[in-house]
Structure 1
């Protein structure tokens, strides 16, 4: 059986020593009273919930899966899931970062992000039930009518009701402009919806009293394509004027997908047979409203892979210290044993350090992005809000694609550390690999994220947002450029920062001549940008560790942090050279291949 220990020390290091969130929150009236002791206390309890309540359900939930009753359209979740969710609600966890106006606790998004990292490590399939509700909450808070907010947000905040996002249809996934679900206006101002949706995570279950489906559909006079999409709120049960639940709405689960992983989550096929819903936002402007939820989900998916990377690393590390195989190439290390622990072997250490570096880099990026969200929503200075919003928009596809790709590498490496045992279910490692694999696909495949980053976020605004991040890198380089102890961390990001500017301009010019050049380069480009971002945060982590050591700390945590940063820059960061070379190979070797692909 695997184990899990919440990484509270690393979270505290990032929050209080690297990003100094307490100082940031003092400038935000809503969070001015939030201090380190409060954050640490909440996260300690959150870690206990994840490790003690949801983690023990992970393997059993994967084995049991979900069951659909075809006659009633009800879905039974694995044993213990409903009870764990009741504890989650009772503990007030769904309300952590929600607005006090709707019953929320009003804590920073950063705290909620750390909670969900731990929940994802413990049990990604279970965590998706409450996780999607936060996206529904954000979409309604941003675009809902006052009546919708009053009726639905308190219930989403408390966790009594959950939410979904109903986008995909059998004939269209990412290309939502092709969707066919129809919405017919009714005299009372509501709409009757008809259509079919697939791949709806947490689409049906009995863990909450009601499920609020956010459904994309077309009005009768809607223009073709993505410009003719509207968003509707369609509850599983109608809600009476006094807030009580009414009759069943005809939006039913007709099938469950048989998946590679996340078996404990009900990925539903949904039939909408004249269900009644209300419009969210303006007619034909549904994508703008839904993108609030989709962007939240993309950050959440990156957090899923971060959680799995962390738990896979912890278990691989423990196994590598215990499992004995062969002798060290440089001579016996455990002379009292018949063989050495496999952790003495260089390549085993490489696999472990790869997972550790990707976990620590991903955690730094995730916490930074949620700090940006706190600024974008709550900072009193409009310029600060705008800057934060632009930066998080730039970084969102990197969070989603880079962290999930890295999670694939890391969980596979950790499974490899176990050798044959990694392929066996009881150790839990193969489940981490399977569960992570969907994260590279849904909420927009990682190729779509790459096209979004390069095409829309970088070239689309002539590199303005990228230059904003470049200024952060430049400021750190200027601050530490003459510090010899920081040279090994600063020099690589200084060089790559200059290279990325030239690389971006080159792709932009080629793309003007042939748009396929952007498509051919995009995936490689995102990984280059991802390494620059990770490199920046590893340099900041090294900076904080060196300062702590200079101040007299003998805590081995700081030595470990420096060693991990050195590994990252020596063994993982140099991938950028290859990526830029393959991107520069252009589109011809891909597109001039009709004979090869005949």
Structure 2
């Protein structure tokens, strides 16, 4: 496997040339004091060193060795404890944290790029700090002052980690039927009893304590999702002086043996009358947990992107070096016995697919992160717009990026041919690791329903209208730009198609709701390709206007943008035809005829 190289030039291009993040930060008082361009660039450079020098080297052995389980104790793979200590000592566990409790308060536009680096280096390692960051976000927003003071500082320092305990064996994604029980105690705490499965980082040896965020129900709680509450349950109880006390009644019953992410501990967790503390209000736990879940869903999308970026780097290095056959138009290197496989049209197709989709995903991820920053730090209309757009695009970040991410890891494997299927080259690990991203934190089918049913139809098209107006404004601003016409025209057509199919589905939803379930996955992808066309047009605009347009970087951007619009954006046309075929082809077949 090629050594991972962080694409810093592209990251800086997006932050400061395309989205002008440094100017945005200065306009937001809550960010202006925390970060500027120099600070952001220094952070990216230092994070790149950690990813390349500390995390990347342990990924292969982590996959080969995995985590081990012995009598309730989980031991991480060789090198992980040391790498995590180095990571925590560098302050990276505090990067996006609340400054009042020891966090660095960096914007999501910066932390999203940080997450990509970690995931390209090793998704398994990235999961441990990612779960902690998500739990800290939920605690900071919904927890009592006492809980925040007691737990957040240690979580930001990396001394304690965290997990998210939602899923139960019988419930899956239907959280309304969970059985974990919470009983109020005389001291105001709660006794938590139940079992949770698929708990990432539920037990490990990286930190002194693990803070579990657990969904549970009181005995008299309303049925369904409205009866869920959220509790903080520490692995080891914390004394009044913040020192560690007695163990809590929390144990790891076993670990899962998985297809991929072998170095990430995926645990069955048992809560046997464990002491827990309420976060937020009773029966409002799902809303509190969604703060963390939405953070993690965007993070999972970035996992898909991270694996895809690594796949592209590996495949490109291999393709340039691998000699096989001759170009159809004649030998390109007659002094050699073969040409590199770069001369073959299908290899170039695969590499350009990966390149265009990866760079488009990174740009769209940065755009969504910008909306999250407006939602978090902005005020007035800009805050409302950021809140709407980030909510609308979160399921796209999770599902679209991970579908493309898995596609691109498989494509990279295909470039390697037979060598991609054997362990020696490490490419098959990326395929296995990326596969879970389409499943956890809400399967991609659930994300598609969230987008179409809850966000678009649930708002009667209002949320979609905000996105449409954003893209339409960009189109109108550049309508007379002859240099950009080759991108503006197809973007306009794509937006028109998306708007038309959105209206058609809004109308169909009032007649036959099954039409929505049948269309949801294809609709999400039509939306994703259109949104990606929007950010590719933005990248092309900046590249064409650069004073250094002849520089290889900008030429690569312009040519890759052309490839995206010519070869990838048309994918939406078949998806539109599929949507318009309706639900009848799905439901005409009786169950017993399958």
Give the TM-score of the pair, scaled to structure 1: 0.98
Inter-partner Cα distance in structure 2 for 1:371 and 1:509: 32
Q: Partner of 1:44: helix, strand, or coil?
A: helix
1:503 aligns with 2:510: no
Give the TM-score of the pair, scaled to structure 2: 0.98
Inter-partner Cα distance in structure 1 for 2:414 and 2:206: 36
1:256 aligns with 2:255: yes
Q: How far is the alpha carbon of 1:552 from its aligned partner?
A: 4.3
Inter-partner Cα distance in structure 2 for 1:128 and 1:150: 24
Tell me which residue corresponds to 2:555.
559
Inter-partner Cα distance in structure 1 for 2:105 and 2:480: 42
- Identify the range of structure 1 (33-42 vs 109-118) with the bigger mean alpha-carbon deviation: 33-42
Tell me which residue corresponds to 1:468.
466
Match of 2:403 among 389, 402, 405: 405
Tell me which residue corresponds to 1:78.
77
Inter-partner Cα distance in structure 2 for 1:399 and 1:296: 11
- CA offsets, 1:494-545, max 9 Å, x none? 0111111111111122121111110000000000000110000000000000
Q: Partner of 2:252: helix, strand, or coil?
A: strand
1:55 aligns with 2:56: yes
Alignment of 1:199-278 (within 5 A): 199-278=198-277
Tell me which residue corresponds to 1:526.
524
Q: How far is the alpha carbon of 1:592 from its aligned partner?
A: 1.7
Q: Partner of 1:273: helix, strand, or coil?
A: strand
Inter-partner Cα distance in structure 2 for 1:274 and 1:587: 47
- CA offsets, 1:63-104, max 9 Å, x none? 10111112xx11000000000000011111111121221111
1:69 aligns with 2:70: yes
Q: Partner of 1:512: helix, strand, or coil?
A: coil
Tell me which residue corresponds to 1:587.
583
Q: How far is the alpha carbon of 1:553 from its aligned partner?
A: 4.1
- Identify the range of structure 1 (363-372 vs 314-323) with the bigger mean alpha-carbon deviation: 363-372
Inter-partner Cα distance in structure 1 for 2:52 and 2:29: 33
Q: Partner of 2:387: helix, strand, or coil?
A: helix
Tell me which residue corresponds to 2:24.
24
Q: Partner of 1:278: helix, strand, or coil?
A: strand
Inter-partner Cα distance in structure 2 for 1:97 and 1:184: 34
Alignment of 1:339-358 (within 5 A): 339-358=338-357
Alignment of 1:476-491 (within 5 A): 476-491=474-489
Q: How far is the alpha carbon of 1:36 from its aligned partner?
A: 1.9
* TM-aligned CA distance change 1:305 to 1:30, over 3 Å: same
Q: How far is the alpha carbon of 1:596 from its aligned partner?
A: 5.9
Q: How far is the alpha carbon of 1:437 from its aligned partner?
A: 0.2
Where does the alignment leave 5 or more consecutive residues of structure 2 unmatched? Answer: none
1:569 aligns with 2:565: yes
Tell me which residue corresponds to 2:412.
414
Inter-partner Cα distance in structure 1 for 2:36 and 2:270: 47
Tell me which residue corresponds to 2:365.
366
Alignment of 1:292-441 (within 5 A): 292-379=291-378, 381-441=379-439
Tell me which residue corresponds to 1:537.
535
- CA offsets, 1:148-197, max 9 Å, x none? 11111111111111111100000111110111010111111001111110
Whether the 8 Å CA contact 2:142–2:280 is kept in 1: the answer is yes
Q: How far is the alpha carbon of 1:484 from its aligned partner?
A: 2.3
Inter-partner Cα distance in structure 1 for 2:548 and 2:124: 44
* TM-aligned CA distance change 1:58 to 1:485, over 3 Å: same
Q: Partner of 2:331: helix, strand, or coil?
A: coil
- CA offsets, 1:19-44, max 9 Å, x none? 00011011111322532222111101
Match of 2:512 among 504, 511, 514: 514
Inter-partner Cα distance in structure 2 for 1:383 and 1:595: 49
Inter-partner Cα distance in structure 1 for 2:69 and 2:102: 33
Inter-partner Cα distance in structure 2 for 1:223 and 1:121: 43
Q: Partner of 2:458: helix, strand, or coil?
A: helix
- Identify the range of structure 1 (335-344 vs 363-372) with the bigger mean alpha-carbon deviation: 363-372
Q: Partner of 2:510: helix, strand, or coil?
A: helix
Tell me which residue corresponds to 1:127.
126
Q: Partner of 2:127: helix, strand, or coil?
A: helix
- Identify the range of structure 1 (463-472 vs 538-547) with the bigger mean alpha-carbon deviation: 463-472
Where does the alignment leave 5 or more consecutive residues of structure 1 unmatched? Answer: none
Tell me which residue corresponds to 2:544.
546
- CA offsets, 1:225-265, max 9 Å, x none? 11111110000000000000111111111111111100000
Inter-partner Cα distance in structure 2 for 1:78 and 1:195: 29
- CA offsets, 1:461-519, max 9 Å, x none? 11112111111211111121122221221111101111111111111221211111100
Tell me which residue corresponds to 1:14.
14
